Amino acid sequence: MATQHRIALIPGDGIGQEVTPAACRVLDTVGKRHGITFGYDEFDWSCRRHTETGAMMPGDGLARIRDHDAIFLGAVGDPAVPDHVSLWGLLIPIRREFRQYVNLRPVKVFEGVESPVRRALAGEVDLVVVRENIEGEYSEIGGRLGRGFPEEMAVQEAVFTRAGVTRIADYALGLATRRRGLLTSATKSNGIVHTMPFWDEVVAERALSYPDVTLESEHIDALCAKVVLDPAHFDVITGSNLFGDILSDLTAAVAGSIGIAPAANLNPERDFPSMFEPVHGSAPDIAGRGIANPLGAIWAAAMMLDHLGHAEAAAAVEQAIADVLARTPVRTPDLGGTATTAEFTEAVLEFAIG
Ligand code: GGG
């Protein structure tokens, strides 16, 4: 009998509406081949909904998706709604309420994709960014005073807890143990005098329990330079919420395009559903033209398959992505081609199911 999964589907805004159906098409087709079926409950939570109703999602939104096996999200953001309103009205509450404290963002330079960085060669760059996802610089603590007056001010408190840093360090160290054994921790303890030395201390303490992992700590500014100059050096990179977010866009660009990067927002204990999304945003400049790169969303779907216990199906999707890039000229415009979202998706399916 086929394994059935219920997925909460939130296409969201802009190209999220275009790449999410592409990912579902791959899930359905590859799933069928592997004895897995998906039932989707689609939610219209988005900036359009905010414009019409005043809220990104309904008051009981989180309760409605709590019991799904996983959540698949397209993209969030539209010029009509301030970015902090759309993010804090949808994406961030999901991550926090469901304790999705790991944001896993793998990056590879695929054969057939030319990186803008000369030293980023296919087969050599294969790294994972492990971003802390529910605390750090993304914090509600703070406020604004004296709006409109010359002395107007804004204060934003970053929040780092021992529990929070410990669990993300353990996740990253565990992952490094199963990979090449190198963990790079992003810091800025020369300028940020409280939270970053604390981050460094906790990561170093936890590393003592992982003798097979070499830990290196790099200031975020120097780390960004090194990622560009020598991307093949890196294996697992961990960072706070903000540093991890910035690093994953940087590493995705080094790999050729932010359109190819996937993300898994994981609740490792599986007390709550985890959420899968492409790293890219809603890209209003190209939305509606059918040319968005669905690779990030399709790769995120592969990560979802893996999380749901279907490693073989996940590997088949990842291999199909690699095959399209290595063996065909099919590319969306962000990778220098002329293929549409649908054409790229078809090419992936041809390799995935033969
Ligand atoms: N595909 C997810 C998305 O739309 N992300 C937009 C974004 O700005 N994300 C910020 C973040 O991940 O913290």
Whether residue 45 is predicted with pLDDT greater than 80 in this model: the reply is: yes
Ligand 1 centroid to residue 219 C-alpha, Å: 24
Q: Is the CB of 75 under 6 A from ligand 1?
A: yes
Q: Is the CB of 174 under 6 A from ligand 1?
A: no
Residue 190's pLDDT is what?
96
Residue 2's pLDDT is what?
80
**Residues forming beta bridges with residue 126, ordered by sequence position:** 108
Q: Is the CB of 296 under 6 A from ligand 1?
A: no
Whether residue 151 is predicted with pLDDT greater than 80 in this model: the reply is: yes
E strands, 193-285, are: 214-219, 236-239, 262-266, 274-278
Residue 186's pLDDT is what?
98
Long-range contacts of 153-160 (CB under 8 A, 24+ apart): 158/192, 158/195, 158/240, 159/135, 160/135, 160/136, 160/195, 160/198, 160/199, 160/240
Question: What's the half-sphere exposure (Cβ side, CA atoms, 13 Å) at 235?
Answer: 17
* CATH number for region 1-100+262-354: 3.40.718.10
Protein residue with least CA distance to atom 5, ligand 1: 281
What does the block give as tokens for 123? 């087969």
Atom of ligand 1 lying closest to residue 296 CA: 1
0.85 cut: is pTM over it?
yes
Atom of ligand 1 lying closest to residue 281 CA: 4
- Reported as a single tens digit per residue, the pLDDT across 114-129 is 899 988 999 999 999 9
Ligand 1 centroid to residue 213 C-alpha, Å: 30
Whether the CA torsion 89, 42, 16, 255 is positive or negative: it is positive
Residue 236's pLDDT is what?
98
Cα dist from 101 to 52, 56, 140, 213, 346, whole Å: 31, 22, 16, 22, 34
- Reported as a single tens digit per residue, the pLDDT across 153-208 is 999 999 999 999 999 999 999 999 999 999 999 999 999 999 999 999 999 999 99
Whether residue 43 is predicted with pLDDT greater than 90 in this model: the reply is: yes
Q: Is the CB of 15 under 6 A from ligand 1?
A: no
Protein residue with least CA distance to atom 11, ligand 1: 245
Ligand 1 centroid to residue 75 C-alpha, Å: 7
- Reported as a single tens digit per residue, the pLDDT across 299-334 is 999 999 999 999 999 999 999 999 999 999 999 999
- Reported as a single tens digit per residue, the pLDDT across 62-95 is 999 999 999 999 999 999 999 999 999 999 999 9
Q: Is the CB of 245 under 6 A from ligand 1?
A: yes
Sequence ranges of the domains in the chain: 1-100+262-354, 115-131+159-255
Residue 278's pLDDT is what?
97
* CATH number for region 115-131+159-255: 3.40.50.2300
Same fold, 1-100+262-354 and 115-131+159-255: no
Count of Cβ atoms closer than 10 Å to residue 219 Cβ: 15
